[in-house]
A and B are shown apart, each in its own frame.
Chain A
Amino acid sequence: MAGFLDLALANLATPMVLCFALGALAAAIRSDLEIPEAIAKGLAIYLMFAIGFKGGVAMRADGGAAALLALLVAALLSLLLPLLAFALLRLLSGLDRANAGAVAAHYGSVSVVTFVTAAEFMRLSDLPYPGYLVAMMAVMETPAIVTGILLARGGLGRALSGPLLREVLANGSVVLLVGGFLIGWATGDEGMRRIGVFVGDLFNGALCLFLLEMGLVATRQLRSARLLSPGLVVFAFLMPLAGAAIALALALPLGLGPGGAALFATLAASASYIAVPAAMRLAVPEARPGLYVTLSLGLTFPFNVALGIPLYAALAQRLPF
């Protein structure tokens, strides 16, 4: 496990993770530090566009049948992971259907910020990954929501309403991500030459500020963690590990390479806290947002950023590609 320790320490020493820690510290000491909402949103827009664009450019070089298969597998994983999450939740905490289904949807979906942080980590650790990982992230956002609703309500019924569909398919992050990806794919290296400084050199700095905000937000959210049973807290750390293990196993036949495998594992381990909560409010209003947001944002997200990413990278490097 020496590999993991080295990677873990290297991860913790990056400005990004340290900024996250700074945000967490600031919230813990009840500082009034606030990143203005518009700036946080602006940073999110920038990060999503940049990662989408860079993925599209890389896809132009890498795409093909392997990419399509990987996308299919990723979408299926997103669809099926909530089943595992649901079972674990019922086992560990005896949570009711509606809440268990809603939480499960979060863990089948992905956290774009976790992915972005992991992608930077791969770049800094010299672990290249196929460009279509970004496309895999995009397709993993939504299927879990459908499964979550099915589990929570025992059927889709009128849950797939207009507002919900609009929320899920047309929400800002999806449009930016997919749009950026398509633009990157279409313009390729020439496009990269034109905006390379913006999406490349400035990226890490923006990520630092955004993670500072995330540290603040996640720690403040953690104050609601007192309401969580021990079983739920265990779930918040166990489920990412389970998801990552499954993804690592799938990465081998898909030929993703160590960097790609680590990122796929990160995707499976991450839990949404932006897109899915809003969808769940509409689809499963009986479920309590204090539960699912605290679990995914307050516990799983920091776990993945601080420990998960280097762990998945260490394990991925041990896979016999």
Chain B
Amino acid sequence: MQTHRRKKVEIVVEAAFVRPVLDWLKEMGATGYTLVPKVSGDGHHGERAAGDISRVFDNVLIIAIVREEVAYRILEDSLRVLANATGIVYLSDVEVARAGHF
């Protein structure tokens, strides 16, 4: 079967920034996304506990499958967009069946 290479962009970001980040991803060329809510963790900015009453300690995981050029554009621009937010961005290689879909 013929598969096509794409990049998976994963962004773990604090819940407060979800809307602006999703809008930005769309602008950068992502055709869609998957959102995993209520993600917790720990890192440079301290513990992130999901389900927090003030919602400022909640994280979400955003997954988007995009073309390689789009992925690198996103990674580069993320330094600006996420400068003040708590979160991480990383890329990985994936294969998909529907080339026109991503």
A residues at B contact (CB < 8 Å) = 37, 40, 161, 163, 213-214, 217, 224, 273-274, 277-278, 280-282, 285-286, 289-290, 293, 297
CA distance A274 to B16 in the complex (A): 12
B residues at A contact (CB < 8 Å) = 14, 16-17, 19-20, 46, 51-57, 84-85
Contact B84 A297 (CB under 8 A): no
Contact B51 A281 (CB under 8 A): no
| CB of B91 to closest CB in A, whole Å | 24
Contact B56 A277 (CB under 8 A): yes
Contact B19 A274 (CB under 8 A): no
Given A163-B19, A163-B20, A290-B46, A278 contacting B85 (CB threshold 8 A):
no
A163 / chain B contacts, CB cutoff of 8 Å: 19-20
Given A163-B19, A285-B84, A273 contacting B46 (CB threshold 8 A):
no
CA distance A297 to B19 in the complex (A): 25
Contact B17 A282 (CB under 8 A): yes
From the candidates A40, A214, A277, name the one contacting B55 in the complex (CB within 8 A): A277
CA distance A40 to B54 in the complex (A): 12
| CB of A176 to closest CB in B, whole Å | 16
A278 / chain B contacts, CB cutoff of 8 Å: 16, 54-56
The residue in chain B whose Cβ has the minimal distance to the Cβ of A285 is B84
| CB of B44 to closest CB in A, whole Å | 12
The residue in chain B whose Cβ has the minimal distance to the Cβ of A296 is B54
B19 / chain A contacts, CB cutoff of 8 Å: 163
Q: How many A-B residue pairs have CB under 8 A?
A: 42
From the candidates A40, A281, A286, A290, name the one contacting B53 in the complex (CB within 8 A): A40
From the candidates A277, A281, A289, A293, name the one contacting B17 in the complex (CB within 8 A): A281
| CB of A293 to closest CB in B, whole Å | 5
CA distance A293 to B49 in the complex (A): 13
- The DSSP consensus for interface residues of chain A is helix
Given A163-B20, A281-B16, A274 contacting B54 (CB threshold 8 A):
yes
The residue in chain A whose Cβ has the minimal distance to the Cβ of B53 is A217
Given A40-B53, A293-B56, A281 contacting B46 (CB threshold 8 A):
no
Which of A161, A214, A281, A282: most chain B CB closer than 10 A? Answer: A281
CA distance A224 to B48 in the complex (A): 12
| CB of B80 to closest CB in A, whole Å | 12
Contact B53 A273 (CB under 8 A): yes
A274 / chain B contacts, CB cutoff of 8 Å: 53-55
Given A281-B14, A282-B16, A273 contacting B54 (CB threshold 8 A):
yes
Give 8 CB contacts A-B under 8 Å.
A161-B20, A217-B52, A278-B16, A278-B55, A282-B20, A285-B84, A290-B46, A293-B54
B14 / chain A contacts, CB cutoff of 8 Å: 281
Given A163-B20, A278-B16, A289 contacting B57 (CB threshold 8 A):
yes
Using A217-B53, A281-B14, A289-B57 as known contacts, list a sample of 8 further A-B pairs with CB atoms less than 8 Å apart, ordered by residue number in A.
Answer: A217-B52, A224-B46, A273-B53, A277-B56, A278-B56, A282-B16, A286-B84, A297-B54
The residue in chain A whose Cβ has the minimal distance to the Cβ of B16 is A281
The residue in chain A whose Cβ has the minimal distance to the Cβ of B23 is A163
Given A37-B51, A163-B20, A285 contacting B57 (CB threshold 8 A):
no
B54 / chain A contacts, CB cutoff of 8 Å: 273-274, 277-278, 289, 293, 297
Contact A285 B85 (CB under 8 A): yes
CA distance A29 to B54 in the complex (A): 23
What 6 pairs across the A-B complex have the smallest Cβ distances? A285-B84, A281-B16, A277-B54, A289-B56, A37-B51, A277-B56
